[in-house]
Chains A and B, each alone.
Chain A
Amino acid sequence: MTTTLSPTPNETVTRTTRAPAPHQLFCPRCQLTFEAAPQALCSTCLGPVQPVYANDGHPSRDELERRPRTLWRYAEWLPFAEPPVVARSVGFTPLVEAPRLAHELGVARVWIKNDSVSHPSLSFKDRVVATALNAAHAFGLTTVGCASTGNLANAVAAAAAAAGLPAWIFVPADLEPAKIVGTTVYGPHLVRVRGTYDDVNRLCSQIADRFEWGIVNVNLRAYYGEGSKTVGFEIVDQLGWRFPNAVIAPMAGGSLVTKLHKAFGEFARAGLADGEQPRIYGAQANGCAPIVRFIQSNARSLTPERPHTIARSLAIGSPADALTARAAILQSGGWAHAVTDEELVLGIRRLAETSGVFTETAGGVTVAAAYALAQQGRLRPSDEVVLCITGNGLKTPDAVASALETAPEIAPRLSAVEALVAAAA
């Protein structure tokens, strides 16, 4: 019996030669425009550049609703002039109403933007990888990679495998085992680096200089970051073209809250949603909360931190998007909060027990922050709130396992079950 899997003789794999034509890049500080390139920084000021978008007409709500339910539905707000050639089935994750959680928070309504079931790798990082890999394809970069706390590693490995691209993926050596498995299974070059994520990121900056690779969150970052906007677009779309009052999201580098604010602004200017844009609240773990402290202290500059938290996916001690994250949060009328590791574990459990969604540690941070913000009076009884749940709980089962009761073990006897049911009554 053969132990290998082989395609049938008539199967062929074809690759399109179309390129998605990435947009030019712009530095808002220097007011300089650059040709589309795998370069995330302005060559004058070294600040981040962003894609240029034309101010042409935008599609109507009806037109958008007729389009396929993927993140490419919002093509006019994504940095490509042509359709994608890879990662075409990403996005449009469920927006799930959570009435029992709303009751516990004391707000009118709560929805879970559930990227814990994102295709293909069960985190919102599939979105940013979708845009980054199309940029890589357009620039002729035949190897991709990333620095990651875990979810991005999974997403790059999965998307690269589907696209037939080699990938070099760099993670902290002590990353959670489930995230290591969830990367290795796709067959990339996975490298475990002794150090923190910040060490890994520094190394990948040097790697991007040295090799002609598409490091999605380094030299492809300008195109990568735009993928996060689609979380905001989908929230508005799925709520029936309106804004919630508040959105709560976790913060690692600070890019997601920045892009959420950008997305809501873009849809408001396009006339796709009316009224006040959402207040944005950012959440971190106390053991690594540089952006929260930057906001709460109103400091002139960020103080980096050495991470010490089980929320490994948020453990970025030197987040480069802190300035834009702070601006997004404060301009929206939101705030930021940090929770303890014990609180985030409770957050994972409360989300699962009230709403049937099992999230990883970053999601626990988000939920725990929601409880705290509600207690602080920052969430109003009339509020409609969306929680951004960015990753799946099966990626960090150890974080919550020890807090769960051990299931009883019984003999296969009906009487044993009767006793359990009686005890539970």
Chain B
Amino acid sequence: MAVSIHLPAILAPLADGARVVDLDGRTVGAAVQALTDRYPNLAPRLIDERGEQYPFVAIYLNDDDIRLVGGFDATVQDGDELSIVPAVAGG
């Protein structure tokens, strides 16, 4: 499945300056793996040492926090957007 991953400005330097990366993957985890295969320096800022989501980023599959829809196992569809944003949430 073709998905686009949107990166925040703070992570762009680790992706050769890219803010949007088009990739393939059947699941969120596969898409993230494809992203870190292309840009290995991103890996520690997306996946922690236990293979779980890095705690200081939030990952959205379209408008859903992936933790609410299956995490890295969530399936993706053609045209889906993954948004990675720093985990800052509070008014």
A304 & B68 in contact (Cβ 8 Å cutoff): yes
At the interface, yes or no: A59 with Cβ under 8 Å from chain B? no
B10 & A316 in contact (Cβ 8 Å cutoff): no
Residues of B within 8 A of A125 (CB): 91
Nearest CB to that of B60 among chain A residues? A202
At the interface, yes or no: A12 with Cβ under 8 Å from chain B? no
CA distance A252 to B10 in the complex (A): 25
At the interface, yes or no: A320 with Cβ under 8 Å from chain B? yes
At the interface, yes or no: A205 with Cβ under 8 Å from chain B? yes
At the interface, yes or no: A48 with Cβ under 8 Å from chain B? yes
Contacts of B62-91 to chain A: CB distance below 8 A: 63, 65, 67-68, 83, 85-91
CA distance A321 to B89 in the complex (A): 8
CA distance A211 to B11 in the complex (A): 17
Please, what's the 1-or-0 string for A282-315, where 1 marks a CB less than 8 Å from any CB in chain B? 0000000000000000000101101000000100
Stretch at the interface among A69-77, A102-110, A142-150, A341-349: A142-150
Cβ-defined partner of A48 (8 Å) among B45, B63, B83, B88: B88
A146 & B67 in contact (Cβ 8 Å cutoff): no
Check A252/B56 contact, CB under 8 A, given A205-B8, A318-B65: no
Contacts of B1-22 to chain A: CB distance below 8 A: 6, 8-11
Check A198/B88 contact, CB under 8 A, given A301-B52, A301-B55: no
Place the interface of chain B in its size category.
20 to 34
Residues of A within 8 A of B90 (CB): 201, 217, 252-255, 316, 319-321
B88 & A40 in contact (Cβ 8 Å cutoff): yes
At the interface, yes or no: A130 with Cβ under 8 Å from chain B? no
Residues of B within 8 A of A401 (CB): none
B91 & A46 in contact (Cβ 8 Å cutoff): no
CA distance A41 to B8 in the complex (A): 12
Nearest CB to that of A318 among chain B residues? B89
Residues of A within 8 A of B45 (CB): 45-46
CA distance A46 to B11 in the complex (A): 9
At the interface, yes or no: B58 with Cβ under 8 Å from chain A? yes
At the interface, yes or no: B34 with Cβ under 8 Å from chain A? no
At the interface, yes or no: B57 with Cβ under 8 Å from chain A? yes
Residues of B within 8 A of A317 (CB): 65
What is the minimal beta-carbon distance from B81 to any residue of chain A, in angstroms? 12
Check A320/B87 contact, CB under 8 A, given A41-B10, A45-B56, A46-B10: yes
CA distance A43 to B87 in the complex (A): 13
Mostly, the B contact residues are: loop
At the interface, yes or no: A47 with Cβ under 8 Å from chain B? yes
Check A151/B91 contact, CB under 8 A, given A45-B56, A46-B86: yes
At the interface, yes or no: A358 with Cβ under 8 Å from chain B? no
Residues of B within 8 A of A19 (CB): none
CA distance A313 to B56 in the complex (A): 23
Nearest CB to that of B87 among chain A residues? A320
A46 & B57 in contact (Cβ 8 Å cutoff): yes
B91 & A146 in contact (Cβ 8 Å cutoff): yes
Check A202/B10 contact, CB under 8 A, given A301-B52, A316-B91: no
Nearest CB to that of A216 among chain B residues? B91
What is the minimal beta-carbon distance from B48 to any residue of chain A, in angstroms? 10
At the interface, yes or no: A336 with Cβ under 8 Å from chain B? no
What is the minimal beta-carbon distance from B72 to any residue of chain A, in angstroms? 13
CA distance A420 to B11 in the complex (A): 69
CA distance A13 to B65 in the complex (A): 47
CA distance A328 to B8 in the complex (A): 29
At the interface, yes or no: A402 with Cβ under 8 Å from chain B? no
B88 & A41 in contact (Cβ 8 Å cutoff): yes
At the interface, yes or no: A197 with Cβ under 8 Å from chain B? yes
CA distance A123 to B58 in the complex (A): 28
Contacts of B44-62 to chain A: CB distance below 8 A: 45, 52, 54-58, 60
Nearest CB to that of B44 among chain A residues? A45
A residues lining the B interface (CB < 8 Å): 40-41, 43, 45-48, 125, 146-149, 151-152, 195, 197-199, 201-202, 205-206, 209, 217-218, 221, 252-255, 301, 303-304, 306, 313, 316-321, 323
Beyond known contacts A197-B89, A198-B89: 9 more, CB 8 A cutoff: A46-B87, A48-B88, A149-B91, A198-B65, A201-B91, A205-B8, A217-B90, A304-B67, A320-B89
